[in-house]
Every structure is written in C-alpha cells, then in structure tokens.
Chain A
C-alpha cells in the first residue's frame, strides 16, 4: 500500500484506543509501533525512528507535554513531527506550546486522524526536500 513506507509510533495509556488507532492506521497501510506508557520512550523512539509520533497528552504517570518537550530537545528525534491528542479543553494551546507540531482533539473522526497523520508526514517531507535543495 501507499503508506507502507511510513512508520508511525502511537503512545496512549488506554489499551482500547491504542489498538483502535493502530487498526485505523494499519487499515491505511501505515507501519505502526505502539507503546502503552512513557517509560524509556526516548531510546524506543531512537531505535524505531518513526516518521510520525502520535501521542496522548495525559499518560498515566507522565505528562505528555514534558515528554514532548524532551523529544524536541533530543537531537536525533527532534525533527520527527509529533501529533498530540487530548480530550481536555484548552489542551491544544498547551500541547503546541510544548513543541507538539499537530493537535488532534478527542473524540475525532477517523478521517481527521488520517488527514492529520498524512499532513504531519508531508510537513516533514517538505522540510527534507527543502533541506536537500539547500544541500544541492
């Protein structure tokens, strides 16, 4: 499928939602890795090096915003677009302020999810293209 070359990491502490997201993305051909918590997240991301990170804002025992901030400070990871999700009101501003590139409010339409993911990938590819243009 078209999206097979793209790898998405999904982090959510709700197992059902995690599986749901995985299913949705896989339906559209994405390669998906999942994680239920924030433990050792940076080594995990570093090992996978996905094209997009889809992460819930509130993870049990951890604040997604802190994690996002850390990811954005990690030289290896920081260029990977992060989509943060939350059902909390006003979460969008908080997430974007902490380095998230996109926001997806819960609950969402499947279409919204897929559009956001592809938008995130496209944004990164544009950047890569810009970069290659610069190098040339």
Chain B
C-alpha cells in the first residue's frame, strides 16, 4: 500500500502569471469579439500553418462550421485554379515569416467563388518566438470584376485606336505627345518618344490655299488655348517632303476638375478622296463643257424619268431657266398637238427601259415651234437596273422642210418631165399610125425604138414619184376585186408588144384567181419583174410566168434564165437604191429602186416578195397576195 509519507511542495508566487493569463484570455476574448464584429474575414494559424481560429465574418462568408475549417479544412473553399499559387505563397510565407498578400477565389455560402484579397502577417510571442500568422480577407469580387472590365475595355479601346485608319494622338498642355496610334506614326513619318517629344516637329501645315500656317493657327494649339473643338482641312508637308491633304479634328482633354490637361487630335488623310473629288470635278466640268458646247439639246433624267439636267442649248433654245422648266415641266415647251404622244412615249420608255424616239415640235424662245428629233437611252448598272436617262433633242426643222421641199420638187419635176414626154409620145404614136402601112422598115423601126425609150423614160419618172410617195407615206392603194390571171395576160401582151424578141410563157394552176388589191400597182410589180427578167437575160429569150393558189395566198412567179444573183445580193436586192454591181451588170441602167417599190407595194398588200436565184443560171422572182381579203 502506497501511502504518502510526506508531502513536499514549493510555493511560488504565480499571481503575476495568473494575472497575465487572465489578461491574455481577456485580450484574446476581446480580440475575438473585435474580430467577430469586423466586416472582414479573419483567421489565425499556428506556426505549424494549421489554422485554429476563424472569426464570425469567415463563418458568415463561407457558411461553414468552424470545425470544418479548422486545421487545413479551409483549403476546401479555395478555387481549384487558385489553390496551388495560394498554398505556395502561404507556405513560403510561413517559412520566411514574411507578410503576404494575394488575391484568390474563395467559395461563398452560396457556392459562388468570389474574389477575395487576403493578407497574412506573421505573429510573434513576447519573447520573439514565431507563433504563426494572422490573416484577413476581403470580398473584392465586384471591384475586381470592374477593374478587369476596365482593363479589358482599355485594351479594347487601345486596339480600336491602334487599328483606326485615322491618326490619333494626345498631348499634354505643353504639347508633348502622350499617346499615339500606328496611323499617327505613318502620318508623321517618325516614331516619337512619348512624354518628351513635341507634336509640332513632324510636319509643316498649309491651309487649302497653300498659305503656310503658324503653330498657333493649328487646331491643336487652338483647342489647348481656347478649350474648344476645332475641325480644319489643311495640307501637311512631312519631313520627307510628301504633301498630304488631311482633315484634322482637335478637342481639349479635361481632368475631373474641368481643367485642360491636354488635347486629343484625330487626323484623317483625305488625299485620295481629294484627288478623286478633283478628278470627278474635272470630269464633271469636262462633261458640262462638252455638253454645253454641243448645239443639240441634252438632258438627263433619273430612273423614274424625272428630268434633272439640261445643257446650255436647252436654256438658249427655250429661253427658260432650270427652275422654270422644273416648276412647269418640260412638256410646256412641246407643241400642244405633240404633247400627248410625247408623254405617252416617255412613260412607255421609262416603264419598259426601251429607247425613247420621237419627232415633235419644241417652242423656241421667240415663240416659233420647230421640229426636233428626241432620243433617250437608259444608262444601266451592271445589274441591268436603270440608273439614269440621257436624252438629246436635235433640231430637224430645216431637214424636215428640205424633205418637204424635196418631195414637192420631185413631184413637180416629174410633172414637168411628164409634159414633154406626153408630147413626144403622142407625136411618135401619131407618126406610127401614119406610117403603119408604110414599106419603110427603117422609119417604122426607128419610131418603135423611140416609143420604147419613151416608155422607159416614163417608167423612170413614175419610179421617182413612187419613191417620194413611199417616203412621205403617201403611196395610196385603190383596192378592187379583179381577176389576177386576166391582169397578168394584159401585162404579158403589153411587154410582148414592147419587147417582141422575148418569149413570155404564162401558165396558171388555177383558172380564176380573184384578189382584192390595187390592180395598177400589182401590174406595176409584174412589169417590174418582167422588165428585170428581160434586162438581166441578154442571152436567153424565154421567160416563164406562173400563178397558183396555195394556203390562201395567190402566188405569182417570174422565172428567167439570165445571169442570176449571188446569195449576198439576194438579201439586199429589195433595198432602196441597191443595184447588183458586177462586170456583166454594168451595162444595165436604172435607179435601183424598182424592186424597192415593188416590195413596198406587196408589203402594203400584206403579201410577201422574194427571189431564188443561182448565179449564171437565172432567177425566180415571186410575190404572193392574200386571196380571202
């Protein structure tokens, strides 16, 4: 049995110690109370890095129990991406016993990671022993996001400014360059040192009239001096001598107390634009000069047909101003009788994009109406869309008058020619009837020849007259029902009488062919075919005429065995004044209008005319007429 035999003890005065302990407890309690009320998160860790204290702020923020956080439990709340850098800093601070600051993401009660700013300070005991760290954290998520955005924005603006095609730079109140973009260096032709070099040393400035500008006249100086924004176009001459047209915009920069701290300048190089402008101005001037120097009236209209430009001739001719024409419309100068047709055709052209073409009368400044030929063409984009109309009006008054005079002249001339022809022809025929029974063959032959020549002369005169009638649209048809074969028979007899040396054989597939046509004109076409057949058949004396009905058309053909016509000429032979040229044809006289007239006559009867021919073998001329009209 172990029984204490004696007690030994030492009595030490621990009052001070106790007091100290109490004091310490009290101060720790006080600290914890303070820490709990602080709006920040506070933790404490021992020298072993393990945390043993978290204030209420921490608990509130993380929403976790102290027990969960103690030791290394708090590590669970650190964002995985930030854990390594955080622990690295944390642990190294413990080993170096140095204060640390770090920003990292910490999980909040709502599981959202928030950026916090953490600071750790080493703690030492009274005797200087390292006893761990005390740390505090603040939620800086909002300001962190804002500052990140600001940084991002700044980078974006910087990029924007850099990539701008205009030169952008700022300077302080002294004119020292503070910021500039790439375009600015291109404009300056140098790379200035910021905060040091002045903006003024890069180039000389001239106004648009070529006057050298002083420094104080530059928009940047003015913006700095007067606190106003300036926009000026001027010419700069770079150090390398190159001149550029620029548009400069300068604006003062203020601090938050509205004090001018510098200026920003934006300079746009407009040299190319200027050049293009100059060129287009030059082109426009050239065009206007050209248009104004032309005696024709020229006008343009938009795609809807609204006229928007007239050359000088229009004003000179009409005596009107642009506004007078615009206000009352161009139609006011058109002759009242021609207005409806002018408008109708113009609307049609604008609606369809077809060319405008019309003859109408315009009132001149002196009141006289004169004939004009107006034409307009649409100017189309590559897409085919009409962009504008360009029109001209040509004074054809004199031409019209001359044509009328010419037609009148031809008409009169043919009349005047016909009178002596009538006389000659009459006397010849009288002589012929006198000497009909005469034995004098020479006399009789001579009279016959003269009579034939007179016939030819008569035909030529008639052709001239017909031509002028066709041209003036006065070729009138006197239609009647008649028997085609009978008419052919009469013509054949007539020709046989004049050209007794030719054998003209007429055969018809139909006995009776009645047509409704101008008997005399159709006869004229046949005479023309026959005289051509004779004219171009110097070596063959047989001519065949046929008539038939096929597909409601009466078809008449005249075939010869003459010299023929080549393919190229066959297409043109019905054109006015077209004559087959060649060695053998040179001896055949004529105006070359006979077939043109024949073609006109047949066309006006709604018929068809044509030719089939082989060079050297002969030709078959044919025409057809509708029979059931």
A interface with B by C-beta (< 8 Å) = 14, 16-17, 20-21, 23-24, 27, 87-90, 106-110
**In the complex, which residues of chain B have a beta carbon less than 8 angstroms from the beta carbon of A107?**
418, 421-422, 425-426, 454, 458
| A residues less than 8 Å from B418 (CB atoms) | 87, 106-107
Write out the residue numbers on chain A whose beta carbons fall within 8 Å of the beta carbon of B415: 87-89
- B 398-431 to A, binary, CB cutoff 8 A, 1 in contact else 0: 0000000000000100110011011101110110
User: Contact: A14 with B419, CB < 8 Å?
Assistant: yes
B430, closest chain A residue (CB):
A23
Contact of B419 among A17, A27, A109, A110 (CB under 8 A): A17
Residue among B415, B426, B429, B454 with the most chain A CB within 10 A? B426
B433 on the A face (CB < 8 A): yes
| Sample of 23 A–B contacts (CB below 8 Å) | A16-B423, A17-B422, A17-B423, A20-B423, A20-B426, A20-B427, A20-B430, A27-B430, A87-B414, A87-B419, A88-B415, A89-B414, A89-B465, A90-B474, A106-B418, A106-B421, A106-B422, A107-B418, A107-B422, A107-B425, A107-B458, A108-B422, A110-B430
Q: B364 contacts the other chain (Cβ, under 8 Å)?
A: no
CB pair B411 A106 closer than 8 Å: no
When distances are taken between beta carbons in the complex, the residues of chain A under 8 Å from B474 are 90
What 20 new A-B contacts, CB under 8 Å, besides A17-B423, A20-B430, A88-B411? A17-B419, A17-B422, A20-B427, A24-B426, A24-B430, A87-B419, A88-B415, A89-B414, A89-B415, A90-B474, A90-B476, A106-B421, A106-B422, A107-B418, A107-B421, A107-B458, A108-B425, A110-B426, A110-B429, A110-B430
CB closest residue in chain A, given B425:
A107
- The distance in angstroms between the C-alpha atoms of A20 and B422, with both chains bound, is 9
Mark each residue of chain B from 258 to 281: 1 if its CB lies under 8 Å from any CB of chain A, else 0: 000000000000000000000000
B144 close to chain A: CB less than 8 A: no
Residue of A nearest to B415 (CB): A87
CB distance from A89 to the nearest CB of B (A): 5
Q: Which of B418, B423, B454, B474 is most buried by chain A, counting CB atoms within 10 A of its CB?
A: B423
Nearest-neighbor residue (CB-CB) of B433 within chain A: A27
Interchain CA distance A20-B469 in the complex, whole Å: 30
- Contact residue among A17, A88, A89, A90 (Cβ-Cβ distance under 8 Å from B426): A17
Provide the residues of chain A in CB contact with B419, threshold 8 Å.
14, 17, 87, 106
Residue of A nearest to B462 (CB): A89
CA distance A24 to B422 in the complex (A): 13
Q: Which residues of B contact A88 (CB under 8 A)?
A: 411, 415
For B423, list chain A residues within 8 Å (CB). Answer: 14, 16-17, 20
Known: A14-B423, A106-B419, A107-B422. A89 touches B430 (CB 8 A): no
A89-B422 in contact given A23-B430, A109-B429, A110-B430 (Cβ < 8 Å): no
CA distance in complex: A102, B157 (Å):
105
Chain B contact surface mostly: helix
- Name the residue of chain A whose CB is nearest to the CB of B423: A16
- Complex alpha-carbon distance, A107 and B426, angstroms: 8
Cβ–Cβ < 8 Å partners of A89 in chain B:
411, 414-415, 465, 469
Interface size for B (C-beta < 8 A) is 20
Query: Which residues of the other chain, B, contact A87 by a CB distance below 8 angstroms?
Result: 414-415, 418-419, 422
Chain B residues with Cβ below 8 Å from A108 are 422, 425
Q: How far is the CA of A23 from the CA of B433 in the complex (A)?
A: 11
Instruction: With both chains docked as a complex, state the minimum distance between the C-beta of A55 and any C-beta of chain B, in angstroms.
Output: 14
Distance, CA A14 to CA B415, complexed state (A): 13
**Bound CA span A64–B427, Å:** 24
CB distance from A136 to the nearest CB of B (A): 36
Which residues on A sit within 8 Å (CB–CB) of B425?
A: 107-109
* Minimum CB distance partner of A14 in chain B: B419
**Closest-CB distance, A112 to chain B (whole angstroms):** 10
Closest Cβ of chain A to B444, distance in Å, is 16
Q: Are A21 and B426 in contact (CB under 8 A)?
A: yes
Taken together as a complex, chains A and B put the C-alpha atoms of A110 and B415 apart, in Å, by 19
Q: Cα distance A109–B432 when bound, in Å?
A: 12
Q: What is the CB-to-nearest-CB distance from A15 to chain B, in angstroms, rounded to a whole number?
A: 10
Chain B residues with CB under 8 Å of A110's CB are: 426, 429-430, 433
Chain B hits for A16, CB < 8 A: 423
Nearest-Cβ distance from residue B137 to partner chain A, whole angstroms: 120
B37 CB to nearest chain A CB (Å): 128
> Which residues B447-504 have CB closer than 8 A to chain A?
454, 458, 465, 469, 474, 476
Interface string of B595-624 (1 = CB under 8 A from A): 000000000000000000000000000000
**In whole angstroms, what is the CA distance A14 to B469 when docked?**
27
**In the complex, which residues of chain B have a beta carbon less than 8 angstroms from the beta carbon of A14?**
419, 423
Task: Note all chain B residues with C-beta closer than 8 A to A21.
Answer: 426
B414 proximity list for chain A (CB < 8 A): 87, 89
CA distance A23 to B415 in the complex (A): 23
Instruction: Considering the complex, give the chain B residue whose CB is closest to the CB of A21.
Output: B426
Closest to A113 in B: B426
With a 10 A CB-CB cut-off, give which of B415, B422, B423 has the most chain A CB atoms: B422
Measured CB to CB, the nearest residue on chain A to B468 is A89
- In angstroms, Cα B414 to Cα A107, docked, is 11
Taken together as a complex, chains A and B put the C-alpha atoms of A88 and B468 apart, in Å, by 13
Q: How far is the CA of A100 from the CA of B474 in the complex (A)?
A: 23
User: What's the minimum C-beta distance from B50 to chain A, rounded to whole angstroms?
Assistant: 133
Shortest CB distance A31–B (Å): 18
Pick the most buried of B419, B425, B474: most chain A CB atoms within 10 A of its CB. Answer: B419
| Chain A residue at smallest Cβ distance from B420 | A16
Task: Provide the residues of chain A in CB contact with B427, threshold 8 Å.
Answer: 20
* Alpha-carbon distance between A94 and B615 when the two chains are bound, in angstroms: 47
> CA separation between A90 and B472, bound complex, in Å?
14
Contacting residues, chain B, for A24 (C-beta < 8 A): 426, 429-430
Determine the chain B residues whose CB is within 8 A of the CB of A23 once the complex forms: 430
Q: Bound complex: CA of A109 vs CA of B433, how far in Å?
A: 12
Shortest CB-to-CB span from B418 to chain A, Å, is: 3
Smallest CB gap from A27: residue in B? B433
A116 to B429, CA, bound (A): 16
Rounded to whole Å, the gap between the CB of B382 and the closest CB of chain A is 54
- Report the bound CA distance from A27 to B431 in whole Å: 11
Chain B's nearest CB lies how many Å from the CB of A53? 18
Whole-angstrom CA separation of A62 from B564 in the bound complex: 52
Closest to B458 in A: A107
When A and B form their complex, which 10 residue pairs have the shortest distance between CB atoms, in order from nearest? A87-B418, A107-B422, A110-B429, A20-B426, A106-B422, A87-B415, A16-B423, A107-B421, A107-B425, A106-B418
Kindly list chain A residues whose C-beta atoms are within 8 Å of the C-beta of B426: 17, 20-21, 24, 107, 110
Report the separation of the CA atoms of residues A23 and B422 in the bound assembly, to the nearest whole angstrom.
14
- The residue in chain A whose Cβ has the minimal distance to the Cβ of B426 is A20
- Name which of A20, A23, A90 has the most chain B CB atoms within 10 A of its CB: A20
Q: Nearest Cβ in chain B — how far from A44, in angstroms?
A: 24
In the assembled complex, which residues on chain A have CB atoms less than 8 Å from the CB atom of B422? Answer: 17, 87, 106-108
Complex CA–CA separation, A135 to B525 (angstroms):
49
CB-defined contacts of A109 to chain B, threshold 8 Å: 425, 429
Would you give the shortest CB distance from A10 to chain B, in whole angstroms?
A: 12
